[in-house]
Structure 1
Amino acid sequence: MPQWTIDSPGRLTFGEVTALNVRVVAGRLAVLASDGPPTLEVTEVDGSPLVVTHDEDDGRLTVAYKDLTWDGILGWLRPGPRRTTLTLTVPRTCPVQAGVVSASAVVAGMEGITGVKGVSGEIVLDGVSGEVQAETVSGSVESRGLAGDLSFSSVSGDLTVAAGRPRRLRANTVSGRVTADLELEPTAHVTVHSMSGAIVVRLPHDVDTDVSAHSTSGRIESAFPELYVASVPGARSLSGRLGGGMASLSATTVSGAVTLLSGQPAGRREEEKA
């Protein structure tokens, strides 16, 4: 199995890559979908070298530090400089595992199974579809043009979804804020849970979905008069059907506010871009 030790800037080109696992500490990481040959371009390495392995039998590509495992990313505590800036290009259907400690990361154009983990770094998912799982401690996750499934969990990190058309969106935070601008297909399901973080969702005013929102002590507001708001000691709720229903939106908090906003009709934003 070919292996390289990367301790200075450089570029590698690989044969077939069927799966990517990349793990870095600090710096910047970009994973981009490409129709060309899979490549790794490193423009900065400070501290321990990166180890690159490519299994030519099954096509698996790994770029990581020897002592940084996928399961150990969220609990990384080792001192010392580990800064790198790198860009990887792989086929758009290639499964990806991208882990960062404090580095920022961009994953763009992937259409397969994508997993991202981070401690405090910012993660951007740009035009990523398929099945996506994102897990952070305090780092934020921003998704642009989501299509497919997204599962997000965090302690205090925020989730922002811009122009999303998810099949499934599941978000769980303790104190992180969830902000989502969504268009919902008839079979879409959105579930958001937070302890104290605010939840803000914007939907087209002609959306077809069932809505259920609950909070123990947080404020609940809605721009849709069709929905029923109830408030009793220890419980506040928002429920009802918009349009013909079929899709579903559920939001629950303990002390966080829930806000449901009304936006442009479904498909209008795409027409304006054209």
Structure 2
Amino acid sequence: MRQWTIESPEQLTFGDVDTLDVRVVAGKLAVLASDGPPTLEVAEFDSASPLLVSYDEDTRQLSVTYKDLTWDGMLGWLRRDRRRTVATLAVPRRCRVSAGVVSASAVVAGFEAATRVKSVSGEIVLDGVSGEVSATTASGDVESRAMEGNLSFTSVSGDLTVADGTPRRLRGNTVSGRITADLALRPTGYVTLNTVSGPIMVRLPVNAETDVTLRSTSGRLASAFEEISQAGGPGSRSMSGRLGGGMASLSATSVSGDVTLLKGEKE
């Protein structure tokens, strides 16, 4: 196993990488799918603690992290010391990626296998990521662009925005965060969105084919599709119906937040 200690801007190149584990505190992190050799570029580094890099040629595993910043303890990480890093990692698109940040912003783009991202308060952007995707935050927002895989999102107060999504499975759960999703569902697409007090807004193509259920205990329910109507008549706290052949499934539920279904352009 090869190891490096980074205490200033530096660039490293590695052999084949199948698994990446990267964790930083503050600053900016970009993890990009690439057809070239795996690389790490640290453009800025301001920390009293060094960044530790290890690469195992036998297991093809690359790790970039601080010694005391564990994956399991990241959401409870409360240290006040300064650790700012601006880093870009380029690894193969079939690489399994685990990326964690505390307050840093993170961009993860182009991967096709398994991607796991965790943040305390930093913003996460998932761009063109497919496969199995998991995003967990405390207060950080998550934006997903052109996703085609299975996305599981969990947050306390962070927002979830899905733009131009064609998910196989999409599960979003937040307490007070907002969920906004612009979707084109596959025939077997399955979407479940849940909040406590946060609003939910979903836009589907005018020719969507999906079963729809909207629920809110005290929030307002609204649908631009005439096929989606109140279940049980006036005063009911749910709306449901079938669009087209109803092959996919969409469920959006909030306790006190508004739930809105909008009509987009033809797919």
Partner residue, 2:88: 87
Give ranges in structure 1 of 5+ residues lacking alignment. Answer: 267-274
One-letter amino acid matched to 1:198? P
> 2:150, 2:169 within 8 Å by CA — same for their partners in 1?
yes
State how far apart, in whole Å, the 1-side matches of 2:243 and 2:227 are.
7
Letter in 2 for 1:207: A
Deviation at 1:230, TM superposition (A): 3.9
Q: What SS does the corresponding residue of 2:70 show, helix, strand or coil? A: coil
Identity of aligned residues (%): 70
**In the aligned structure 2, how far is the partner of 1:179 from the partner of 1:129?**
19
Whole-Å Cα distance in 1 between the matches of residues 147 and 123 of structure 2?
A: 17
Deviation at 1:232, TM superposition (A): 7.4
**Distance (Å, rounded) in 1 between the aligned partners of 2:114 and 2:244:** 33
- What is the DSSP-based 3-state SS (H/G/I as helix, E as strand, rest coil) of the residue aligned with 1:74? helix
Cα distance in 2 between the residues matched to 1:83 and 1:235: 51
2:11 corresponds to which residue? 11
Aligned-pair CA distance for 1:243: 0.5
Q: How does 1:66-77 map to 2 (within 5 A)?
A: 66-77=67-78
CA offset digits 1:49-76 (Å, max 9, x no partner): 1000001110100000000001111110
8 Å CA contact 2:26–2:102 kept in 1: the answer is yes
The residue identity in structure 1 corresponding to 2:3 is Q
Equivalence map 1:1-274=2 (5 Å): 1-47=1-47, 48-230=49-231, 236-266=237-267
| Amino acid of the structure 2 residue aligned with 1:29 | L
Deviations 1:78-119 (A, max 9, x none): 121010000000000000000000000000101110000001
Which amino acid in the other structure matches residue 17 of structure 2? V
**C-alpha contact 2:230 2:236 (8 A) present in aligned 1:** no
Q: Distance in 2 between matches of 1:22 and 1:190?
A: 29
User: Are the equivalent residues in 2 in contact too, given 1:42–1:85 (CA < 8 A)?
Assistant: yes
- Rounded to whole Å, the distance in 1 between the matches of 2:129 and 2:149 is 8
Q: Give the total of aligned pairs.
A: 266
- What TM-score, normalized to structure 1? 0.95
Matched residue SS, 2:23: strand
Alpha-carbon RMSD across the aligned residues, in angstroms, is 1.2
- Name the SS of the counterpart of 1:166 in structure 2: coil
Shift of 1:227: 1.1
CA contact (8 A) 1:217 1:234 kept: no
Tell me how far 1:229 sits from its aligned partner: 1.5
Question: Shift of residue 235 of structure 1?
Answer: 5.2
- SS of 2:150's equivalent? strand
- CA shift digits 1:25-53 (9 cap, x unpaired): 00000000000000000011111210000
Q: Any stretches of 5+ residues in structure 2 without a counterpart?
A: none
Normalised by the length of structure 2, the TM-score is: 0.98
Q: Is the 8 A contact 1:211 1:249 kept in 2?
A: yes
Residues in 2 aligned to 1:42 and 1:143: alpha-carbon distance in whole angstroms: 25
SS for the counterpart of 2:167 is strand
